[in-house]
Amino acid sequence: MDTQKIIALDKKYYMNTFGERIPIVFEYGQQSTLYDKEGKAYTDFVAGIAVNVLGYGHPALVEAITSQAKKLIHCSNLFYIEAQAQLAKLLVENSCGDRVFFANSGAEANEGAIKLARKYFRDKGMNKYEIITAVNSFHGRTLATLAATGQEKYQKPFVPMPAGFKSVPYNDLEAVRNAITDSTCAVMIELIQGEGGVIEATHEYVKGLEQLCSERGILLILDEVQTGIGRTGKLFAYQHFDIQPDIITLAKGLGGGVPIGAIIAKESVASAFEPGSHGSTFGGNPLACSASIAVLTTLLQEGLIERCAEVGNYFKQKLNALKDRYHFIKDVRGKGLMLGMELDPSVPGKEVVNAALSEGYIINCAGHNTLRFVPPLVITKQEIDGLVDTLDKIFKRTLETRK
């Protein structure tokens, strides 16, 4: 089917939640390159929005999925599941957590984390249910995670929101301190706000939050749905800070493209979930868990996380060199291969995204007019050079047309 026909079908039959999508249909990919229906190649710096950490067609991932698919795709959680148990072990052995639960998406992992935090205090006979989150955060599209998401534009059409959420300015420890009441059960934040525009939490804020939560006897939940799985140059972003969160949520990169989410928690917290507390039909099924085991073992055994840190530094330096030359680049932010470049509002990021696309580079624009770069962790320096040269060319043209 050709691209125009596919677009026509979408416009007729699919709910219009994504508006005018980019009029490209991808056929297949190899490493960090995607090929569209017409055979045009694109170097991918979006990776399905920080999902395809191993790029496209990685033999270890393809082999894990195909061999598992031949044996058993799904099996209910009425039974024990080999890949699920093994993946849980792998996540615990490589994090500060003790127990894992598998969901199917980031929003679902966060929903589970919210339930777990509330149940933990309910079991102690304490009426603590409120969760403090950050303004400009993103935690998902379900009702509870929308309520947690500190962005009114997402919430407004769907009021009333579930009760028990309060958002306060990011990187402002005093604001969190002042927001804590006897009803507060947890603080939930991203260590780098992704959808919000690649905004990093400061070291003092994160260390301060850990201390504040422990002083006040409330839980620290880190939404690592985007920052997790090697993205920032560590397996989990919290490992940059020498802290121990009570609960971590994961999704995006975890299955390398196969949908899977996870909650990791400390034993004392995890034990609040008892038989019947929580569940999922698909969560932790053999196919998704086998994919995820392949992703994690490949990342860990092939040194891809250290490589991400190194290649990310190289990339960030190059973006900073562009910033020195173009006054409309306001900021370069991020860690590892989760980088952002904020542009002055006079240069709409969407136009740069489209210009890059016609040159064969996929990038995207997140909050605060920020170009976001979250490529596969297998991206090469040559590919980064190619993108930076292309941005240079686009920015030069921008300067000329604005003279």
The yes or no reply on residue 139 touching ligand PLP (CB under 6 A) is yes
Number of residues that bind ligand PLP (CB under 6 A): 15
Alpha-carbon span 13 to 9, nearest angstrom: 6
331 Cβ contact list (under 8 Å, min separation 6): 323, 340, 341, 342, 370
Q: What minimum distance in Å lies between the beta carbon of 254 and ligand PLP?
A: 10
List 44, 223, 246, 383, residue binding ligand PLP (CB under 6 A): 223
Q: What minimum distance in Å lies between the beta carbon of 155 and ligand PLP?
A: 15
246 Cβ contact list (under 8 Å, min separation 6): 186, 213, 219, 220, 221, 265, 266, 269
Determine how β-strand 192-193 pairs with β-strand 199-200. antiparallel
SS3 state of residue 193: strand
Alpha-carbon span 166 to 131, nearest angstrom: 6
Identify residues 3-32 at the interface with ligand PLP (CB under 6 A). Answer: none
In terms of CB distance, is 105 or 364 closer to ligand PLP? 105
Alpha-carbon span 303 to 300, nearest angstrom: 6
List 29, 55, 106, 349, residue binding ligand PLP (CB under 6 A): 106
Segment near ligand PLP (CB under 6 A); pick from 133-141, 271-279, 304-312, 324-332:
133-141
Give the CA angle between residues 120, 121, 122 to the nearest 5°.
95
The yes or no reply on residue 251 touching ligand PLP (CB under 6 A) is yes
In terms of CB distance, is 225 or 270 closer to ligand PLP? 225
Assess contact for 283 and 101: CB atoms under 8 A.
Answer: yes
Segment near ligand PLP (CB under 6 A); pick from 6-14, 124-132, 223-231, 352-360:
223-231
Q: If you search the block for the tokens 């985007």, which residue do you land on?
A: 226
| Alpha-carbon dihedral 195, 201, 207, 210, rounded to 10 degrees | -20
Give residue 337's Cα distance to chain centre. 12
Q: What minimum distance in Å lies between the beta carbon of 395 and ligand PLP?
A: 27
The yes or no reply on residue 105 touching ligand PLP (CB under 6 A) is yes
31 Cβ contact list (under 8 Å, min separation 6): 55, 56, 57, 376, 378
Identify residues 176-195 at the interface with ligand PLP (CB under 6 A). Answer: 190, 194-195
Alpha-carbon span 117 to 105, nearest angstrom: 19
Phi/psi for 171 (5° steps) reads: 60, 25
The yes or no reply on residue 225 touching ligand PLP (CB under 6 A) is yes
CB count in 10 Å sphere of residue 262: 30
The yes or no reply on residue 170 touching ligand PLP (CB under 6 A) is no
User: Which positions make up the binding site for pyridoxal 5'-phosphate?
Assistant: 106-107, 138, 223-226, 281
User: What six digits make up the tokens of 367?
Assistant: 């909050």
Q: Which amino acid is at 262?
A: A
List 140, 230, 349, 367, residue binding ligand PLP (CB under 6 A): 140
User: Which positions make up the binding site?
Assistant: 106-107, 138, 141, 223-226, 280-281
The 260-299 contact track toward ligand PLP, x by CB under 6 A, reads: ----------------------------------------
Alpha-carbon span 330 to 326, nearest angstrom: 9
In terms of CB distance, is 95 or 390 closer to ligand PLP? 95
Q: If you search the block for the tokens 């790029």, which residue do you land on?
A: 55
The yes or no reply on residue 383 touching ligand PLP (CB under 6 A) is no
Q: Report the residue number whose CB is nearest to ligand PLP.
A: 106
Q: What minimum distance in Å lies between the beta carbon of 196 and ligand PLP?
A: 9
Q: What minimum distance in Å lies between the beta carbon of 317 and ligand PLP?
A: 25
Cα atoms in the Cβ-side hemisphere of radius 13 Å centred on 104 = 9
Nearest Cα residue to 327 out of 384, 260, 403, 380: 403
Q: What minimum distance in Å lies between the beta carbon of 70 and ligand PLP?
A: 27
User: Which positions make up the binding site for N(2)-acetyl-L-ornithine?
Assistant: 141, 280
The yes or no reply on residue 97 touching ligand PLP (CB under 6 A) is no
Segment near ligand PLP (CB under 6 A); pick from 24-32, 76-84, 218-226, 342-350:
218-226
Cis, bond preceding 286 (omega within 30 deg of 0) = no
In terms of CB distance, is 33 or 137 closer to ligand PLP? 137
Segment near ligand PLP (CB under 6 A); pick from 102-110, 169-177, 207-215, 298-306:
102-110
In terms of CB distance, is 72 or 161 closer to ligand PLP? 161
Which residues lie near ligand PLP (CB under 6 A)? 105-107, 110, 138-140, 190, 194-195, 223, 225-226, 251-252
